[in-house]
Amino acid sequence: MTADKPLRADARRNRDILIAKAREIFDAGDFFDLRFDDFARLAGVGTGTLYRHFPTREALAEAVYHGEVAALCDRARQLRDTLPAAEALAAFLRGMVDHIAAHEGLARTLATLLADRSGTLAGGGKALEEAVADLVAAAVRDGTVRDDVDPGAVMMALHGVGAAHNRPNWRTEADDVITLVLDGLRRPR
């Protein structure tokens, strides 16, 4: 698929259906049990439609990944625009823990599929880091967050939370890590 011309409405709808079905399958952790052609059948579209939009599993995984990143970045912007800065940052970080908890299969599937496409993952990571940086910058401007912490450190904490997902008390510990991060970011009075 080329980015040169916009898709017709029916083609866009079919592409969106394929991405939604793939996301559901990835989330369930069933991706590797299916042949690639099965995605078309499960999405209710023809095999030609699948290959026209996504010639490979990796192309479909990239589309799912970019959709996830875009949704998370949109969430960060929405929070920044509707809540006080410190609350927006806290809500986003706690929401990331919720997202990680709810989509463990999706994260594992995407990491496996895109392992040799580090540029794809790096681009999404950069977009998320920019979203976090915007939230941190807003909180610095309003004086609620210290100005000497790099947003990359906040991202590193989120990566650590995600990487430790197999720990027995993960959810409690993840919430505790976010509390530590938020407490550490708070500007002393």
Q: Show the tokens assigned to 15.
A: 């592409």
pLDDT tens digits, the chain, 189 residues: what are they? Answer: 445 567 788 888 999 999 999 888 888 877 677 888 998 999 999 999 999 999 988 888 888 888 988 999 999 999 999 999 999 999 999 999 999 888 877 777 766 766 666 566 667 788 889 999 999 999 999 999 999 988 999 999 998 898 888 889 999 999 999 999 999 999 887
Give the DSSP letter of residue 31: G
CATH superfamily of 57-185: Tetracycline Repressor, domain 2 (1.10.357.10)
d(CA 116, CA 59): 13
Tokens 């599937």 belong to which residue?
Answer: 109
d(CA 19, CA 22): 5
Show the CA angle centred on residue 115, arms to residues 129 and 100, nearest 5°.
50
Q: Quick one: which of 26, 21, 160 has its CA closest to 104? A: 26
Q: Report the predicted TM-score, pTM, of the whole model to 2 decimal places.
A: 0.84
Q: Show the tokens assigned to 108.
A: 């594992």
From residue 60, give the alpha-carbon distance in Å to each of 54, 114, 146, 184, 188. Answer: 5, 10, 40, 39, 46
Confidence (pLDDT) at 1: 47
Residue 29's SS3 state is coil
Q: Show the tokens assigned to 67.
A: 């959709």
Confidence (pLDDT) at 10: 85
Confidence (pLDDT) at 118: 58
CB 93 within 8 A of CB 106: no
Instruction: Return the domain boundaries, the chain.
Output: 1-55, 57-185
Q: Quick one: which of 44, 179, 66 has its CA closest to 117? A: 66
Alpha helices in the chain, H assignment, sequence order: 9-28, 38-43, 47-53, 57-82, 85-102, 104-113, 118-141, 151-163, 170-185
CB 107 within 8 A of CB 163: no
d(CA 23, CA 17): 10
Domain 1-55 CATH (choose: 3.30.70, 3.90.930, 1.10.10, 1.10.287) = 1.10.10
Number of H-type helices and E-type strands within the chain: 9, 0
Confidence (pLDDT) at 117: 62
